[in-house]
A and B are shown apart, each in its own frame.
Chain A
Amino acid sequence: MSDQVFIYTMNQGKVTQGKWSRYVFPFVIEVFAHLEDALYLRHGDNVSKVVENEVADDGVNFEGIIQWPWLDFKSPGRDKMMMGFDLVGEGTLSIEVGYDQTTLHGFTEKFAITADSLPGQIIPLPVTAPSFSIKLTYDGGQAWEWDSMQLYLQDFHLGK
Chain B
Amino acid sequence: MIGTTILRMAPPGRSVEHVMSLNSWQPGTLYLSGAVVSSTIISAPVITAIGNSGFESGSTGWTLGTGWSIALTSAFSGQYAATNSGVAGTPGTLENNVFASVSAGKSITIKCFVDYGTVIVQDGVFLLPTEDSFLLPSGTADFLILPTGANVSLGFRFYNSAFELISTLITNQDTDYAPDVWKEITATHIAPSNSSYVRAFVDTNSTAGTIKVDNFSWNLVPGGSGIDFIFKAVQTGSGVSGVVEPIWPVIDGGQIVDNEVTWEAVTATTVTWQADSILTSGDTEPTWPTVTGAVVSDGNIAWETVRLVIEDENCPHTREVAIAGSKIFAGDEDITRFSATLNPRDWTTPEDAGFLATGLQQKGQVGVTALGVYRGNLCVWNQSNFQIWQVDPDPSAMALLDSMEGIGSGHHKAVQPVSNDLFFLAALGVRTVGIAAGSTNLATGDSGVPIDVLVQSEVEAFGFLKLPTGFRLLLPDSFRLFLPSSGTVDPLATYYPSAGQYWLAFPPSTVSTPGDAPPSVTPGTPPISDVDLPFASEVTAWWDFEEAAGDRSKYYSKSVDGNSLGLEAFNLDVEKWSPGIVDDGVKLRESGNKHIRRSGLELVIANNPWSAIIWFDTLSSIDAGGYILSQWSASVASETMGDRQWRLRINAAGNGFEFSIITGITDNNTGVDLDTGDIGLSTLTRYMLVITHDPDTDLMSLYINAGTPVTAAIVGGATNSINISSQVVQAAQLVTLGFDSSGLTTTKTSLNVDLVSVWNTSLTALNIVALYNSGNGYAFESLPGQVAYNPGMMMYNRGGYFATPPGNGKTFAGSSTFTIAYFRTVEWTGDVEQVLYQFQGPTGTTRTAAIVHASDASIAETRNRVIVRTRNSAGAVICKLMSNVDVCDDKNHVIFYSFNGVTGDATFIIDGVDADETGYTSRVAPTIGALETGSSTNLRWGASVANTLQWGGYLGFTGLRDTYLTNWSDFMTGNVPKQLDHSGWTEFGGSPHVFHDAGAVDSDMHRVVNRFFTQGSNLPIGPEQPPEWSYTSIVIAEGSGDAWVDGDTIQIVSGDQQTAVLFLYVAGLVINGHNGFVHKFPFGTALDNATTRARTVRNVVRTIDRQSAGLDPDVWGWTDNGTGTKETDYDHDLDTGKSRLINLTGSGAVSVQSAQSVTIDDNITVLIIDALEVSTSYAAGPAVDIYNPAGDHNNVTDETVRGRIRVDKTQDATNWIILEAAGNDATTIPFGTPTRIWMYTDAHLALSSVRMDTSTRPEGSLQLPQLQSPKTNDGVVIKHVQLGNSTTTKLGYFLQAQLRMRL
Contact = CB atoms under 8 A, between A and B. Distances in A.
A28 B488 CA distance: 14
A5 B503 contact: yes
A17 interface: yes
Interface stretch (B122-130, B324-332, B493-501, B737-745): B493-501
Interface stretch (A32-40, A92-100, A145-153): A32-40
A111 interface: no
B1118 interface: no
Contacts of A9: 499-501
Nearest to B507: A30
B492 interface: yes
Nearest to B498: A37
Given A8-B418, A10-B419, A29-B492, A2 B498 contact: no
Interface in B496-516: 496-509
B501 A32 contact: no
Contacts of B419: 10
A17 B435 CA distance: 12
Contacts, number: 83
B1090 interface: no
B500 A37 contact: no
Interface in A1-49: 1-2, 4-11, 17-18, 20, 22, 28-32, 34, 37-39
Contact of A2 (B418, B447, B502, B506): B506
B507 A17 contact: no
A32 B503 contact: yes
Interface string B580-620: 00000000000000000000000000000000000000000
Given A29-B507, A31-B492, A32-B503, A6 B455 contact: yes
Contacts of B928: none
A20 B451 contact: yes
A2 B504 CA distance: 11
A2 B458 CA distance: 7
A31 B510 CA distance: 12
B496 A6 contact: no
A7 B489 contact: no
B508 A1 contact: yes
Nearest to A28: B507
A6 B508 contact: no
A60 interface: no
A42 B87 CA distance: 61
B425 to A, nearest CB: 10
Q: Which of A6, A9, A22, A50 has the most CB of B within 10 A?
A: A6
Nearest to A12: B500
Contacts of B144: none
Nearest to B419: A10
Contact of B502 (A8, A22, A29, A50): A8
B554 to A, nearest CB: 40
A146 to B, nearest CB: 18
A31 B502 CA distance: 14
A5 B418 contact: no
Interface in B259-296: none
B1043 interface: no
Q: Which of B418, B502, B503, B509 has the most CB of A within 10 A?
A: B503
B498 A6 contact: no
A37 B497 contact: yes
Contacts of B454: 6, 22
Contacts of B507: 1, 28-31
Interface string B670-702: 000000000000000000000000000000000
A14 B314 CA distance: 50
B450 interface: yes
B505 A11 contact: no
B413 to A, nearest CB: 9
B508 A20 contact: no
B756 interface: no
A5 B505 contact: yes
Interface string A50-75: 10100000000000000000000000
A8 B424 CA distance: 13
Contact of A6 (B430, B489, B499, B500): B430
Interface string B411-422: 000000011000
B504 A6 contact: yes
Contacts of A22: 451, 454
A4 B501 contact: no
Nearest to B488: A1
A132 B454 CA distance: 21
A133 B734 CA distance: 89
Contacts of B493: 32
B28 interface: no
B448 interface: yes
Interface string A78-120: 0000000000000000000000000000000000000000000
A10 B500 CA distance: 5
B447 A18 contact: yes
B501 A7 contact: yes
Contacts of A37: 497-498
A148 to B, nearest CB: 21
B494 A32 contact: yes
Nearest to A43: B507
Q: Which of A8, A10, A28 has the most CB of B within 10 A?
A: A8
B506 A4 contact: yes
A5 B500 contact: no
Nearest to A33: B494
Interface string B441-461: 000000110110011001000
Given A1-B488, A32-B492, A34-B494, A7 B506 contact: no
A6 B488 contact: no
B504 A17 contact: no
Contact of A39 (B448, B492, B503): B503
Nearest to B446: A17
Given A17-B447, A20-B450, A5 B504 contact: yes
Nearest to A8: B502
A5 B502 CA distance: 10
A8 to B, nearest CB: 4
B506 A11 contact: no
Given A17-B447, A20-B450, A20-B451, A39 B494 contact: yes
Contacts of B502: 7-8, 10, 18
Nearest to B416: A32
Nearest to A38: B498
Contacts of A39: 494, 496, 498-499, 503
Contacts of B423: 8
Contacts of B451: 6, 20, 22
A154 B1274 CA distance: 71
B504 A1 contact: no
Interface in B1163-1178: none
A32 B501 CA distance: 13
Contacts of B430: 6, 8
A58 to B, nearest CB: 15
Nearest to B423: A8
B426 to A, nearest CB: 14
Nearest to A5: B505
Contact of B489 (A2, A17, A18): A2
Q: Which of B488, B489, B497, B505 has the most CB of A within 10 A?
A: B505
A17 B430 CA distance: 14
A18 B615 CA distance: 70
B499 A28 contact: no
22 contacts: A1-B489, A1-B506, A1-B508, A1-B509, A2-B458, A2-B489, A5-B503, A5-B506, A7-B501, A8-B504, A9-B499, A9-B500, A10-B419, A10-B501, A18-B447, A28-B507, A32-B505, A37-B497, A39-B496, A39-B498, A39-B499, A52-B499
8 closest A-B pairs by CB: A32-B494, A1-B508, A10-B500, A11-B500, A29-B505, A8-B502, A2-B506, A37-B498
Given A2-B505, A4-B458, A8-B448, 13 more contacts: A1-B508, A5-B504, A7-B502, A7-B503, A9-B500, A10-B418, A18-B447, A22-B454, A28-B507, A29-B505, A39-B496, A39-B499, A50-B496
